[in-house]
Amino acid sequence: MSLRLRLRLPSGPTNISVAPEIVAFSDNGDHTDDDLHLTASSPCIDVASDAIIYGVVDDYDDVARPVDGDVDGYERYDMGAFEYVP
């Protein structure tokens, strides 16, 4: 038995209230085929807090964090488990 919670968090500096625009997510309970990487138009790119204070130096693909995902000249962390690499 699985328990699913749906929380509505207020929009703010560490939350978003729009779709994260990930590559592929199925709401069928079988998440083995999901791809949680961010798309180029994701609002999660370069908007996360400075995770280095928590010891986060790379993502789940072992890509060094942060990356300048929106190509504005500043490296900032992305929300989620994977950094978007343009």
Segment 27-77, tens digit of pLDDT: 777 777 788 899 999 999 998 877 676 788 899 999 999 999 999 999 999
**Is residue 15 a part of any domain in this protein?**
no
The Cα 19–Cα 4 span in angstroms is 18
26 in a domain, yes or no? yes
Kindly give, in sequence order, each residue whose CB lies less than 8 Å from that of residue 66, ignoring residues fewer than 6 positions away: 46, 51, 52, 75, 76, 77, 78, 83
Q: How many domains does the chain contain in total?
A: 1
Q: Which domain holds residue 79?
A: 20-86
83 backbone φψ class: left, alpha, beta (φ>0; ψ -120 to 50) = beta
Given this model, what pLDDT does residue 44 score? 92
> How many CB atoms are closer than 10 A to CB 46?
21
Residue 50 lies in a domain: yes
Residue 3: inside a domain? no
